[in-house]
């Protein structure tokens, strides 16, 4: 009896143990430790250098966090090559790299960080007519296998535009004028101007013309497709500031259904202290009217529209020929003035000038004359 009871328990216990084992997850293949492919590769060409930029992935294709430096292989294919894979399958088949891709270099980079690489364009791609070359980056696992190349980055081939020589800058009332040695023109060629604000020289941060702070960095372009003017006026360069400029010629070329820019070497940077030494415009429309009851002469004129205008100065010349400033030591901001220090019967000539915040004063306006009539029986 006891033996049957013990014997009956055995199969049940074994069955329970087997059921417990079935609850474990299905066995998984070992990780390949392959970094995910790069998806944001971009490339630019300056002179004969190719500058590549991308973001390193943070995980493997198995969604395991990468640790330590990761090996990256950089290569190129002639022409506008398409990416060999539109999407990465859940577990891509490891390969030894993109077939026929010519090596440009090998580096190591930290995961989940921006990455940059500069390669010199191969000589055979410089000597050929303008075209396209495609760059890829391939991230390799410890065994040298890759989950596939990055997205393609297209770069222009052929000779780069020549450097810009003789760059100079000068200040004008309208802004900063740049001069350079003229070069040849061709369709798609532009002169790209990079401007950076260095200091404000104590000037207000607000651009008086636009009512906003001046841009600290800005890029401007001059079309060289129909000729090289050799100069350009930067009207947005607010005065009383120090600006830095660099320029380069850039060619926009089309090949293999791609529109690509090829930039020439940048010029040496130049700086200019664009100090405002330019006075406002001469006031116009000055008129004088005698006010007999108030024994005064009223003046008025057209408002000056210069953006850095600070105010006006009123001058008077009497019959004796002496010219004096009658508006006081400061500036007046109104466009009217009343001269109460007049004598009846004496004729006065008036003029007005404008001044800016830097103390630059314009020439005086054309004179107007007026007098208070002599009262009858008044002593001469």
148, 194: one domain: no
| Domain residue limits at 47 | 42-87+95-156
- CA dist 295 to 327, 346, 380, Å? 18, 12, 17
Alpha-carbon distance 221 to 192, whole Å?
Answer: 5
Please report the pLDDT score of residue 177 as a whole number: 97
Does residue 112 sit in helix, strand or coil? coil
Asked whether residue 16 is assigned to any structural domain, the reply reads no
Asked whether residue 5 is assigned to any structural domain, the reply reads no
201, 135: one domain: no
Domain count, the chain: 3
Q: What is the pLDDT along the chain (380 residues), one digit of tens a residue?
A: 444 443 343 444 443 333 444 444 555 556 678 999 999 999 999 999 999 999 999 999 999 999 999 999 999 999 988 766 544 444 555 677 788 999 999 999 999 999 999 999 999 999 999 999 999 999 999 989 999 999 999 999 999 999 999 999 999 998 999 999 999 999 999 999 999 999 875 555 555 555 566 678 999 999 999 999 999 999 989 889 999 999 999 999 887 778 899 999 999 999 999 999 999 999 999 999 999 999 999 999 999 998 889 999 999 998 878 899 999 999 999 999 999 999 998 999 999 999 999 999 999 999 999 999 887 655 55
Please report the pLDDT score of residue 5 as a whole number: 40
Asked whether residue 324 is assigned to any structural domain, the reply reads yes
246, 296: one domain: no
Asked whether residue 22 is assigned to any structural domain, the reply reads no
Compute how many other C-beta atoms are within 10 angstroms of the C-beta atom of residue 253: 19
195, 143: one domain: no
**Domain CATH code at residue 194:** 2.60.40.10
231, 180: one domain: yes
Residue 345 CB contacts under 8 Å (≥ 6 apart), including other chains? 371, 372, 373, 374, 378, 380
Asked whether residue 279 is assigned to any structural domain, the reply reads no
Asked whether residue 191 is assigned to any structural domain, the reply reads yes
Does residue 213 sit in helix, strand or coil? coil
Closest among 309, 357, 367 to 333, alpha carbons compared: 309
C-alpha 210 chain-centroid distance: 18
Asked whether residue 333 is assigned to any structural domain, the reply reads yes
223, 270: one domain: yes
**Domain CATH code at residue 119:** 2.60.40.2060
73, 144: one domain: yes
User: Both tokens of residue 335?
Assistant: 């466009």
Alpha-carbon distance 104 to 319, whole Å?
Answer: 87
Of 248, 274, 300, the one marking the end of a domain is: 274
Please report the pLDDT score of residue 254 as a whole number: 84
Is the distance from CB of 221 to CB of 44 less than 8 angstroms? Answer: no
Is the distance from CB of 371 to CB of 291 less than 8 angstroms? Answer: no
């Amino acid at each position: 009896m006891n033996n049957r009871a013990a014997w009956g328990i055995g199969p049940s216990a074994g069955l329970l143990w087997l059921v417990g084992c079935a609850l474990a997850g299905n066995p998984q293949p070992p990780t390949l430790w392959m970094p995910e492919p790069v998806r944001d590769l971009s490339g630019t060409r300056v002179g004969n250098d190719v500058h590549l930029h991308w973001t390193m992935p943070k995980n493997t294709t198995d969604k395991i966090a990468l640790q330590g430096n990761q090996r990256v292989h950089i290569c190129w294919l002639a022409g506008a090559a398409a990416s060999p894979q539109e999407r990465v399958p859940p577990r891509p088949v490891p390969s030894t790299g993109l077939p026929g891709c010519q090596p440009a270099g090998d580096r190591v980079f930290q995961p989940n960080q921006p990455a940059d690489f500069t390669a010199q364009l191969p000589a055979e791609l410089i000597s050929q007519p303008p075209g396209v070359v495609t760059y890829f980056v391939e991230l390799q696992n410890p065994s040298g296998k890759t989950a596939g190349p990055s997205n393609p980055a297209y770069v222009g081939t052929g000779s780069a535009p020549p450097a810009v020589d003789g760059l100079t800058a000068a200040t004008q009332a309208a802004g900063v004028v740049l001069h350079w040695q003229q070069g040849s023109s061709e369709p798609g060629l532009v002169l790209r101007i990079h401007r950076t604000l260095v200091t404000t020289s104590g000037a207000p941060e607000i651009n008086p013309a636009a009512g906003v702070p001046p841009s600290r960095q800005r890029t401007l372009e001059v079309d060289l497709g129909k000729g090289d003017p050799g100069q350009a006026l930067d009207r947005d360069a607010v005065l009383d500031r120090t600006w830095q400029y660099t320029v380069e010629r850039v060619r926009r070329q089309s090949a293999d259904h791609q529109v690509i820019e090829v930039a020439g070497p940048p010029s040496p940077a130049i700086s200019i202290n664009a100090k405002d030494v330019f006075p406002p415009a001469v006031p116009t429309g000055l008129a004088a009217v005698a006010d007999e009851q108030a024994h005064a002469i009223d003046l008025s004129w057209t408002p000056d529209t210069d953006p850095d205008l600070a105010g006006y100065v009123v001058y008077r010349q009497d019959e004796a020929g002496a010219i004096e400033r009658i508006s006081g030591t400061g500036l007046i901001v109104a466009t009217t003035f009343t001269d109460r220090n007049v004598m009846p019967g004496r004729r006065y000539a008036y003029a007005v000038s404008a001044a800016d915040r830097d103390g630059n004063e314009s020439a005086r306006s054309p004179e107007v004359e007026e007098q208070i009539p002599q009262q009858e029986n008044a002593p001469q």
